[in-house]
Chains A and B, each alone.
Chain A
Amino acid sequence: MSEISEPERLGVRKTYKLYIGGAFPRSESGRSYEVRSARDGRFLANAALASRKDARDAVVAARKAFGGWSGATAYNRGQILYRVAEMLEGRRAQFVAEVSDSEGIGPRKAERVVDAAIDRWVWYAGWSDKIAQVRGSSNPVAGPYFDFSVPEPTGVVALVAPQRSSLLGLVSVVAPAIVGGNTCVAVTAESSPLPAITLSEVLATSDLPGGVVNLLTGRPAEIAPWLASHMDVNAIDLCGIEAPALATELEAAAAENLKRVTRPPAGDEPDWFAEPGLGRMLSFLETKTVWHPVGI
């Protein structure tokens, strides 16, 4: 009697595409690039290689989503961001595996990273309906006027995500941008884009309106200049630009429409585990001051 052994089951591999306007298109350029594991060098996927036209489309999507997102109540935004954290938690194992491969770290360290990313998201969710109380004020002007100042989102924010911290760093630049009502277009970590796309899947299933966050996998050096010079982008965070000359060039390009610029951190990539402070939220909030007379 012959023995037939069970062949090993073949997995169904995920395709990694861009996340624009709530959908997952391939790059309009049709290009992709190889992503390999930082642990053992094996082939992981062909990620979409975003083009300038993808960036253009992403900005259009972000602008379209801005009215609805900034017009939602702070409570509603907070609820949605908390839901993102719930979805992240549900996919913890998948993220641990992807971060481990992306950053070449062992599973225990990867778990620490993923837990921190989820908690980071929860931290930002809770800021939505509080930033106005910490940042706003009524101002005791010397006259019969009621005078108050409130923070408002600046609009569409371009982000170059940290290039080494493929999940925690990404979350730490995206969440503060959108919690106050901005929408964003982010260029992800070039050699470790997979957690970013899995994050997109989380965003797409969390009631986050399409276009609020748009993620482009590919080469920051290729894409960032187009975002930095884009006249319908209101602010840019150059966090992931590691070459000082390029950072300078981008900051100069951003000056054309007076974008609010966040420069890359001096020195090595920051300790993303540390509590972030208010800076990244405040960078993308304007302040509006209103006067009204007081009289019968």
Chain B
Amino acid sequence: MFEYAPAPESRSIVDIHPSYGLFVDGDFVDPEDGVRFKTVNPATEEVLAEVVAAGPRDVDRAVAAARAAHETRWSTLPGRERAKYLYRLARIVQERSRELAVLESIDNGKPIRESRDVDLPLVAAHFFYYAGWADKLGYAGFGPDPRPLGVAGQVIPWNFPLLMLAWKLAPALACGNTVVLKPAETTPLTALAFAEICQQADLPPGVVNIVTGAGETGRTLVEHPGIDKVAFTGSTEVGRQIARSVAGTTKKVTLELGGKAANVVFDDAPLDQAIEGIVNGIFFNQGHVCCAGSRLLVQESIADDLLDQLKRRLATLRLGDPLDKNTDVGAINSSEQLQRIRLLSDIGEQEGAERWSAPCELPDRGFWFPPTVFTGVTQAHRIAREEVFGPVLSVLTFRTPAEAVEKANNTPYGLSAGVWTEKGSRILWMAQRLRAGVVWANTFNRFDPSSPFGGYKESGYGREGGRHGLEAYLDV
């Protein structure tokens, strides 16, 4: 038997401080009315550091710093100078990418192989891409001299902490805005490291401000009268609240919310690659992906065979220590999220779907859930409608292309979809009809800073990435 020995990535490259302040106006400062709370490593439950939940006066201070920086420093800089700041940030991220990847895995629970090979390269790439737009806004199709909005309040989720920071900061800064960003409660550490990177890049104080905290801090930021733009990635439920709270104001808002994507596999799919696409679609990042392919829609004529092959493939997934370079499936980000996944999975069983989990040993400490597949699922099951946000796949069948489209679209969500077939015309036919902001054909979970990403319907509105991603941060 060819057993892989432990291959741990060393932790010694990261230097986690015992306590962090808020990053306001270019410096780390103590809170005025914030309180401190602890952040833990979800794979071991060890406490990593103390961070601040910023209070209303802290948020005031950050917004004021961003406003001052916008008016006196950032909006008057020519685009080519802003570009060079962003290039610096990109380069420093590249230089420190190993350290940041390790830090991300420790704080988030995702495998080091993913943070190293997927997250970090994309982070640098986003800064590089948007750096190049900073001095070319007149060519972007929004008129000869589009202006920034002003101060942006940005709230990001815990599933791709540093990458979501890059998706938010890079276009905002390129367009000439300044920012107050709140990372997720359970994953503040890479954002705080990024604050150091802003210092290393000599970014003018106040252009980027990082205020840590939980839902309360996020609400305070989003509802602050001093910001011109709200950008949020997170749950549809909170997205709704935000949309309500900005009603009647002049704030522009973009939302990137949940999903329940259909991954549609036709009988002429390139089968081995489709299996990889299914696995990648729902088990990449432990299924903590808004655009996860959480509903497998497989053509009935190949369903049994495909499921046998899928289960055989799932048995080779390695679950365990996120810092082991051979780990495929890491820890669930928090105890709360684990409870939710367990609850919905139990409901799935109660509603009559058949449950199967990959055989893996779960470590004693930490938050873990094995890759799980429910078969015999129909649209009427809750596990076909509600976002689990975990490594749980629901399998449904269809007979014809029209039926596949119907079932795929039969959801209030509309973030992404997958199509697997060797027939080009069918790919395009499906893509035309799927009500989703991103359609992946014969691939899944592919991201690029030049490729616009965002949802239809309750998956949100606005696009991040590409030329389209500039619109959210310009006064057009």
Task: Find out whether A and B make contact in their complex, taking CB atoms under 8 A apart as touching.
Answer: yes
Q: Given A75-B125, A129-B129, verify A294-B466 contact (CB < 8 Å).
A: no
Q: Shortest distance in angstroms between A289's beta carbon and chain B's nearest beta carbon?
A: 16
User: Is the CB of A127 closer than 8 A to any CB of chain B?
Assistant: yes
User: Is the CB of B39 closer than 8 A to any CB of chain A?
Assistant: no
Minimal Cβ-Cβ distance residue in B for A89: B84
List residues of B (416-433) whose CB comes within 8 Å of A's CBs. 424-426, 428-429, 432
User: Is the CB of A108 closer than 8 A to any CB of chain B?
Assistant: no
Q: Contact at B87–A122, with CB atoms within 8 Å? A: yes
Give CA–CA (A295, B401) in the complex, Å. 10
Q: Given A78-B128, A79-B128, A129-B450, verify A294-B135 contact (CB < 8 Å).
A: no
User: Is the CB of B462 closer than 8 A to any CB of chain A?
Assistant: no
Chain B contacts of A146 at CB under 8 A? 428
Q: Shortest distance in angstroms between B113's beta carbon and chain A's nearest beta carbon?
A: 21
Minimal Cβ-Cβ distance residue in A for B140: A134
Q: Shortest distance in angstroms between B88's beta carbon and chain A's nearest beta carbon?
A: 11
Q: Given A133-B450, A146-B428, A294-B425, verify A278-B83 contact (CB < 8 Å).
A: no
Chain A contacts of B132 at CB under 8 A? 78, 125-130
Minimal Cβ-Cβ distance residue in B for A295: B425
Q: Contact at A294–B133, with CB atoms within 8 Å? A: no
User: Is the CB of A82 closer than 8 A to any CB of chain B?
Assistant: yes
Chain B contacts of A128 at CB under 8 A? 132
A293's partner among B84, B128, B129, B425 (CB-CB below 8 A) is B425
Give CA–CA (A296, B467) in the complex, Å. 31
A contact set with B: CB distance below 8 Å: 74-75, 78-79, 82, 119, 122-123, 125-130, 133-134, 146, 278, 292-296
Chain A contacts of B136 at CB under 8 A? 123, 126-127, 130
B80's partner among A119, A127, A134, A295 (CB-CB below 8 A) is A119
User: Is the CB of B139 closer than 8 A to any CB of chain A?
Assistant: yes
B139's partner among A74, A129, A134 (CB-CB below 8 A) is A134
B83's partner among A122, A292, A296 (CB-CB below 8 A) is A122
Q: Shortest distance in angstroms between A49's beta carbon and chain B's nearest beta carbon?
A: 37
Give CA–CA (A278, B141) in the complex, Å. 14
Q: Shortest distance in angstroms between B439's beta carbon and chain A's nearest beta carbon?
A: 12
Q: Given A122-B83, A292-B428, verify A82-B450 contact (CB < 8 Å).
A: no
Main SS of chain B's interface residues?
helix
Chain B contacts of A127 at CB under 8 A? 132, 136
Minimal Cβ-Cβ distance residue in B for A131: B139
Q: Contact at A126–B425, with CB atoms within 8 Å? A: no
Q: Shortest distance in angstroms between A76's beta carbon and chain B's nearest beta carbon?
A: 11
Other A-B pairs beyond A127-B136, A296-B402, 4, CB < 8 Å: A127-B132, A134-B141, A146-B428, A294-B429
A130's partner among B84, B426, B432, B450 (CB-CB below 8 A) is B450
Q: Contact at A296–B139, with CB atoms within 8 Å? A: no
Q: Contact at B133–A126, with CB atoms within 8 Å? A: yes
- CB 8 Å contact bits of B126-144 with A (1 = contact, 0 = none): 0011011111100111000
A122's partner among B80, B133, B402 (CB-CB below 8 A) is B80
Chain B contacts of A129 at CB under 8 A? 129, 132, 449-450
Chain A contacts of B125 at CB under 8 A? 75
Q: Shortest distance in angstroms between B257's beta carbon and chain A's nearest beta carbon?
A: 25
List, sorted by A's number, 30 A–B pairs whose CB atoms are closer than 8 Å. A75-B129, A79-B128, A119-B80, A122-B80, A122-B84, A123-B83, A123-B136, A126-B83, A126-B132, A126-B133, A127-B132, A129-B129, A129-B132, A130-B132, A130-B133, A130-B139, A130-B450, A134-B139, A134-B141, A134-B467, A146-B428, A278-B139, A292-B428, A293-B428, A294-B428, A295-B426, A295-B428, A296-B401, A296-B402, A296-B426
